[in-house]
Amino acid sequence: MGHDKLRKFRENLTFPCLIQPDASSLIVKGSSGLVLNDYRTKGRWNEDVFRREGPIVLELGCGKGEYTIDLSRRMPSDNFIGVDIKGARLWKGAKYATEHSLANVAFLRTRVEFISAFFAPSEVSSIWLTFSDPQMKSENSRLTSPLFLERYRSFLAPGGIVNLKTDSTFLYQYTLAVCRSNSLNVLVSTPDLYGERDRVLGEMEGRGEAESLFEVQTFYEKMFLRQGYKINYMAFTLDHEGPFVYPEDFDAAFWRSADPRRKLDFQGGDDVFFETV
Ligand SMILES: C[S@@+](CC[C@H](N)C(=O)[O-])C[C@H]1O[C@@H](n2cnc3c(N)ncnc32)[C@H](O)[C@@H]1O
């Protein structure tokens, strides 16, 4: 491991806003297989972590946490938690939040697969999925698969919104198919966010996040925009009785071929952070 990563990992231990649970205490062997234990903050985020009341908003796969930080400033009465598995990326957001004394920001280092260990029923008011890996080969690894929606439903308040902002036409079309198959309420959807700005803003009227949607561009979003990809966005709720079903009308082969493999060119360096457009 490089010196810079080690330095960041060491510094991560000093940030009060960054929670890094030990995976070995989360997942334990039970008599009939692996068991996911509840983490001590479950149901207690406002009381124990933020020490203030407020609706809780999650950014899953937050990377450096651009949305978490930006939304926390625009919506000061809400509490924001950025979740990612990569400590060197979380370092950026956690350092920023610490240096700027942002009282309504926390970061959680864990796999999203374990997310239901951290939140109690109705504890979360909305979720952002920002440039999630499309996971073209593994449906159950997609952050909008029925498996993940089931996990989110265990803690999302009634009417809570899931926001998906992505460069991936594959993931966008897949998520639309999941919503169709489960008759979920899609509040707004566009395959070209910036091209359909006025319509989207009109349909989002009254939602505090509307400005952030256009004004925050994450590290990955900037890279994909430079490469000429359009940005897809959709927002939906999980108002569904019974188990979520897998979509039958999604043509994975077609959408895979329509979505070229991305080049990862980190032009501008790793330090580009938190610039609004
Ligand atoms: C393509 S990056 C996007 C990062 C950031 N949202 C952005 O737009 O710049 C995907 C992020 O998801 C994180 N990630 C992928 N799979 C994950 C998982 N299973 N659990 C937690 N984080 C995950 C990666 O570490 C990475 O930071």
Q: How much distance in Å is there from the Cα of 164 to the middle of ligand 1?
A: 13
pLDDT band at 277; cut points 50, 70, 90 = very low
* Catalytic-role residue among 38, 133, 259, 265: 133
Query: Is the C-beta atom of 221 inside 6 A of ligand 1?
Result: yes
pLDDT digits (tens, 9 = 90+) for 25-74: 899 998 989 999 999 999 999 999 999 999 999 999 999 999 999 999 99
Check pLDDT > 80 for residue 272. no
Residues written for the chain: 277
Domains of the chain: 35-257 (3.40.50.150)
Question: How confident is the model over 119-178, as pLDDT tens digits?
Answer: 999 999 999 999 999 999 999 999 999 999 999 999 999 999 999 999 999 999 999 999
Answer yes or no: is the C-beta of 128 below 6 A from any ligand 1 atom: no
Distance CA 244, CA 154 (A): 12
> Residue 11: pLDDT above 90?
yes
Share of the chain above pLDDT 90, in %: 86
Over the stretch 93-103, which tens digit does the pLDDT of each residue have? 999 999 999 99
* Band of pLDDT at residue 276, cut at 50, 70 and 90: very low
Task: Identify the pLDDT of residue 269.
Answer: 54
Question: Is 274 a residue whose pLDDT tops 60?
Answer: no
251 is catalytic: no
Atom of ligand 1 nearest to the CA of 165: 8
Rounded Cα distance between 275 and 13, Å, is: 26
**From the CB of 130, is ligand 1 less than 6 Å away?**
yes
Strands (E) across 101-251 are located at: 105-109, 124-130, 156-166, 186-190, 232-237
Q: How confident is the model at residue 267 (pLDDT cuts 50, 70, 90)?
A: low
**Does the Cβ of 84 fall within 6 Å of ligand 1?**
yes
Mean pLDDT of the chain, nearest integer: 93
Beta strands 232-237 and 156-166 are: antiparallel
Confidence check: pLDDT of 242 > 60:
yes
- In whole angstroms, what is the distance from residue 215 CA to residue 210 CA? 9
| Ligand 1 mutation target, pool 60, 62, 110, most atoms within 8 A of CB | 62
Q: Is 11 helix (H, G, I), strand (E, B) or coil?
A: helix
